[in-house]
Amino acid sequence: MYLEDYFELEGKVAVITGGASGIGLATAKLLSELGTKTVILDIDQQKGEDTEKNLKEAGLDVEFLKCDVTNTQDCQNVADSIQKRYGKVDVLFNNAGIIRRKTVVDLDEADWDAVINVSLKGVYLLSKYLIPLMRDNGGSIINTGSGWGIKGGDKAASYCAAKAGVVNLTKAMAIDHGPENIRVNCICPGDTDTPLLRGEAKQLNIDESSFLRSSAVDRPLARLGTPEDIAKGVLFLASNLSAWVTGTTLTVDGGGLA
């Protein structure tokens, strides 16, 4: 028996939002290496095309589709394209998200809407149109929450609200779709070295190196997460290793919430 046999991902179709960078990219690479046909969704056309090219050159079965997860028509078009090419979805990783580091007083309504729409509405829309492609064979949905979806954080009101919504939406989806053999779980990363985290330093007007150090220092494991750390958690939830796991939250944060 080979290691890949434990995961049972060979030939399965995986769809990943926010797949052109950070956690999404690391997960696309890992799942593809274990045999999935991977569809990367991202709003950034150039990054998406570059990611598809690079992963294909590495011998991986990857396709990029441009998608704004807040746009109903984009999500419908993605579902139609996947239906025509693959006829199914086995794994959906709802990972796209943005952050605005402001209190409710300082936050513009447009920024509130943007964070809620990308991080929470996007989970709803993609799931709405892709779950019908999972019903025949069952599958696994993984939604990206956050440690701040479980515990509040400073100057991130809209992000905390959106990610708390993702955590409980996950539970509701698990209840609704369990009878269809669709498992739904939430992964909650702690501070992970991604473009999103580095962008927070700029929003807060803090030196990036100092910000990254401060994000790591109080954790029991005393380091930032890497995108690959989170991808391994997604792999567990996507694979047959978690065949009796649904409606749960997996915190991957170096002990930050301990």
Long-range contacts of 77-84 (CB under 8 A, 24+ apart): 78/15, 78/39, 78/41, 78/126, 78/129, 78/130, 79/129, 79/130, 79/132, 79/133, 82/13, 82/15, 82/39, 82/130, 82/133, 83/133
Question: Catalytic annotation on 159?
Answer: yes
Task: Give Cα separations from 210 to 93, 126, 132, 175, 202 (angstroms).
Answer: 31, 37, 46, 43, 12
Catalytic: which of 2, 6, 129, 159? Answer: 159
Q: Which residues are catalytic?
A: 159
